[in-house]
Amino acid sequence: RVMAQPVIVVGGGLAGLCASLAAASQGSNVVLLDKQPNVGGNSAKASSGMNASVSSAQKALGIEDSVEHFYEDTIRSGRGRCSENLVRSLTERSADIHAWLESLGINLSKVSQCGGHSAPRTHREPAREDGKPAPIGWDLVSTLKRALTQNEQIANRVQIVNNATVIEVLFESASTTASCGRSSGQVVGVKAKIGDAIQEFFGCATVVTTGGFGCDHNDDSLLAEFAPHVKGFPTTNGNFATGDGVRLLRSIGCELVDMDQVQLHPSGFINPKDPDNATKILAPEALRAVGGMLFDSSGRRFVNELSTRDTVSLAI
């Protein structure tokens, strides 16, 4: 359908869904493009929960915590690489985001202490009636998608286009009529490949939330270029995590930062019938948060399981 001056969002993981919902809630039309058949990305695989301090769930459980402690834990775990302004924004707004997610219908009342934290502040859903853990990532993504597609006031302003691979960023040219107050040279939209067709999408703003590149195993991959020390390790990323958006923005002159900061998670499940498969299923930190312990082949416990992930990975 034809939409007036939409916000274009490229990438349908948690960041893209949140950006789309935020824009639509403020009255903007939104076109959300994702190269997969369904939205979700790696966000759908998340399994431990979200971190928040001074939340309603913490208060209900009598957990003592503070924004300042959350801030200090985050700065310390970053080992000098954190942007203090971003960490301040993250920690000060975390309780509000927790409340917002609960207002959408997600029950994040279960709280545990995960690696690097000085207090229990990782929120997730309670176990299901059959005792099985709730898939927090999948439930978050599904809830946000419902908010975009089933709320009539929002849904009328949102178009989700799946199987759409964005291949080019479009710019305003001097010969075209500027819209939304743009001047020559500004971004006006994107070009995407949908099946065998090429389609252009124009809007007043373009937001790129395409995620990482952990599943690009090619010799010319971003992993090989920026983080060759982890290139040979298996990944829990989906096969869609190939850095398309990063490459696209780099091609138009965007500056990249912290590209070498690729996290090596300490634990994953190995299929005994296919131990060398390059893609693994994450053994989440929540397992250690509820008491899981790590032992070497001699039965010796060799690390504090609630240390930061880099510390645990290095010990392994």
What are the catalytic residues? 265, 288
Q: Which residue has the tokens 């917002």?
A: 100
Nearest-angstrom CA–CA distance, 70 and 13: 25
User: 3-class SS at 199?
Assistant: strand
| CB contact at 8 A, 192 and 165 | yes
- B/e letters for 197-235, b = 16+ CB within 10 Å, e = fewer, are eeeebbbbbbbbbbbbbbbbbeeebbbeebbeeebebbb
Nearest-angstrom CA–CA distance, 167 and 190: 8
Nearest-angstrom CA–CA distance, 152 and 154: 5
| Residue among 215, 281, 262, 242 nearest 11 (CA) | 242
| Residue among 2, 6, 3 nearest 207 (CA) | 6
